[in-house]
């Protein structure tokens, strides 16, 4: 993954009142693939996505949104899914500390490599993921937002959260339907659509974890606890 070397993006994760401000380093670059492989990923997945989903138009990441809303977006299933799986695979094979939380089992790493090499997006439950557009108090979406990937678990499988381009992706490390049935309608669909949720920055798993780590390092209160206590005070008044 490439970006302007040394650049930092401010992240404002305020909600209603109060504010948490931090930065995340974006200037990371690492050579992982041969020129031929890089060209394949760029031509087949990255360029088309940067012209559509990360470009402009009705099916692109919006500049503004309303938290709590859900939108059906038309996509090219193959390009959209393989682009996002390429982000996960690159993070998994990277030696950079920024991606150290992404630790895929060898079978998953190899399967993702094969899917990318052969242009095979698989079915709905082959490494499905959720997409959430992130916004601030005014509904503004910052496409410069980037977070360090975070790891968790859901329904007995590893889950990875990462935010970039103004949205968060939640990856489920699985090729099985069991335990994920309720989310099926939100995953990218072979028919050419994905359900995109809009949420406030403070409720994004990747951003919350990043900010909590930064606040804890500084001796402050975790974001989740601060938000909960602030809402409790509001309820009392």
Condensed to tens digits (0 to 9), the pLDDT of residues 143-165 reads 888 888 999 999 889 999 999 99
Give the pLDDT band of residue 14 (cuts 50, 70, 90).
very low
Please, are residues 125 and 192 in contact by the beta-carbon 8 Å criterion? no
The pTM for the full model equals 0.77
pLDDT digits (tens, 9 = 90+) for 29-60: 455 667 777 787 888 888 889 889 999 888 99
Q: Can you name the residues that pair with 152 across neighbouring β-strands?
A: 159
Whether 84 has a pLDDT exceeding 90, the answer reads yes
Whether 171 has a pLDDT exceeding 50, the answer reads yes
Please, are residues 84 and 169 in contact by the beta-carbon 8 Å criterion? yes
User: Tokens for 125?
Assistant: 């439950």
Instruction: Give dist(CA 198, CA 65) in Å, integer.
Output: 7
Higher pLDDT, 236 or 86: 86
Whether 124 has a pLDDT exceeding 50, the answer reads yes
Give the pLDDT band of residue 9 (cuts 50, 70, 90).
very low
State mean pLDDT over 23-27. 42
Instruction: Give dist(CA 6, CA 142) in Å, integer.
Output: 18
Predicted local confidence at residue 43, as pLDDT: 84
**Computed from CA positions of residues 7, 101, 220, 226, in that sequence, does the dihedral angle turn out positive or negative?**
positive
Instruction: Give dist(CA 109, CA 173) in Å, integer.
Output: 10
Helix axes 223-236, 205-217, angle to 10 degrees: 100
Contacts of 149 (CB under 8 A, 6+ apart): 91, 99, 101, 102, 160, 161, 162, 206
């Amino acid at each position: 993954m490439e970006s302007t070397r040394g650049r930092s993006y401010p992240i404002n994760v305020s909600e209603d009142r109060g504010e948490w401000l931090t930065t995340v380093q974006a200037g990371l670059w690492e050579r992982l693939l041969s020129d031929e492989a890089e060209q394949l990923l760029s031509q087949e997945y990255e360029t088309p996505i940067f012209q559509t989903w990360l470009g402009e138009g009705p099916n692109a990441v919006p500049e503004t949104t309303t938290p709590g809303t859900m939108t059906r977006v038309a996509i090219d299933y193959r390009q959209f899914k393989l682009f996002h799986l390429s982000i996960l695979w690159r993070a998994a094979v990277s030696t950079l500390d920024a991606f150290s939380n992404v630790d895929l089992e060898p079978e998953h790493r190899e399967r993702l490599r094969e899917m990318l090499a052969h242009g095979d997006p698989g079915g709905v439950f082959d490494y499905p993921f959720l997409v959430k557009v992130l916004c601030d108090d005014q509904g503004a979406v910052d496409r410069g937002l980037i977070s360090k990937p975070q790891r968790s678990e859901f329904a007995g499988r590893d889950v990875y959260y990462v935010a970039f381009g103004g949205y968060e992706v939640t990856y489920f490390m699985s090729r099985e339907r069991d335990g994920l049935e309720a989310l099926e309608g939100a995953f990218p669909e072979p028919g050419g659509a994905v359900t995109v949720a809009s949420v406030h920055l403070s409720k994004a798993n990747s951003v919350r974890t990043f900010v909590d780590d930064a606040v804890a390092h500084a001796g402050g209160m975790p974001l989740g606890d601060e938000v909960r206590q602030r809402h409790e005070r509001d309820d009392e008044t």
